[in-house]
A = this chain, B = another copy of it.
């Protein structure tokens, strides 16, 4: 940690600060210039609250030198984390996981049909929303526990592991047969939820918040890991920018950057990132060449008739075509 002092700092205050830092067993090193003094702190500075230091009259600015995330940090865990589901499906370390399915679960028939189709095309996990976070209280909120029951039924019929979103840790009992629990973008900093999920023994798919930095995403992963659950999968799903041509802006560079920063698997959601079905295939492939460990893609069997799914869903036929391209690109340019 580097502390830049104000030009005209008060020596008494600096002595207090120095003493306080030494109490934490950290030795400050000073660089005195003509018009600047810099304090370098080396050692375990993870306990120092950067906002506290910033409050001091004598401090001009502070720069963290070491990352505030520990358990997610690749520096202390150089090998990729590989997460294995109950049925043996793997993600991370070169294992690509393809999750596909409808935005919302509507009926057993719909879900079964889509599940069979995406499985045939090569998806190895079924996605489907039961608890749906909606901006409007007047919009369809999902089939909730009934939807979860259908999802488990279709898991048993098809043998596909399932991933679905949780919005409230009180609902955890309904998730006991779910293979991967998803935390949505809006809940990325719902810290009470994260702590509870940290006490589960299930993989957690943690989506990046609409305007959260990669460091904040890792700090949220850290909330889960620090409670004991190390099976965290990170998900880039688009960020909020000034551009209105897409629902969000897919930050594709997040994939290689996260791989530098952390050992955890990274997944791309091209459906939510763009909000437009026509863009999903090329963005999915962009994820592959960027080194993603997984994809999560919306597929719906009849977007036209149903009138109840987003503009971002592929048809099973479109998904099948994409699956072929994924295999082709993966063969020539994957990590």
Contacts and interface: CB of A to CB of B under 8 A. Distances in A.
B241 A257 contact: no
A304 B167 CA distance: 40
A135 interface: yes
A148 B20 CA distance: 29
- Best-buried of A20, A40, A190, A279 by chain B (most CB within 10 Å): A40
Interface string A234-246: 0000011111111
A283 interface: yes
A285 B32 contact: no
A123 interface: no
A191 interface: yes
A135 B219 contact: yes
A136 B72 CA distance: 12
Contacts of A325: 332-333
A203 to B, nearest CB: 19
Nearest to A216: B135
Contact of A274 (B66, B253, B311): B253
A179 B209 CA distance: 31
A57 interface: yes
Interface stretch (A46-54, A93-101, A107-115, A156-164): A46-54
- Best-buried of A46, A65, A187 by chain B (most CB within 10 Å): A65
| Oligomer: number of copies | 4
A282 B256 contact: yes
Interface in A242-292: 242-246, 249-257, 260, 273-274, 277-279, 282-283, 285-286, 288-291
Contact of A249 (B249, B282, B307): B249
A56 interface: yes
Given A243-B214, A274-B253, A40 B47 contact: no
Nearest to A184: B189
A42 B32 contact: yes
A13 interface: yes
A211 B242 contact: yes
A191 B134 contact: yes
A82 interface: no
Contact of A46 (B40, B133, B138, B195): B138
Given A55-B304, A136-B219, A250-B253, 15 more contacts: A13-B304, A29-B31, A29-B38, A33-B42, A38-B65, A40-B40, A52-B307, A137-B191, A187-B190, A213-B245, A243-B251, A253-B282, A285-B289, A285-B333, A328-B332
13 contacts: A2-B38, A4-B65, A33-B42, A36-B42, A55-B303, A167-B192, A241-B241, A241-B249, A256-B282, A282-B289, A282-B291, A289-B329, A325-B332
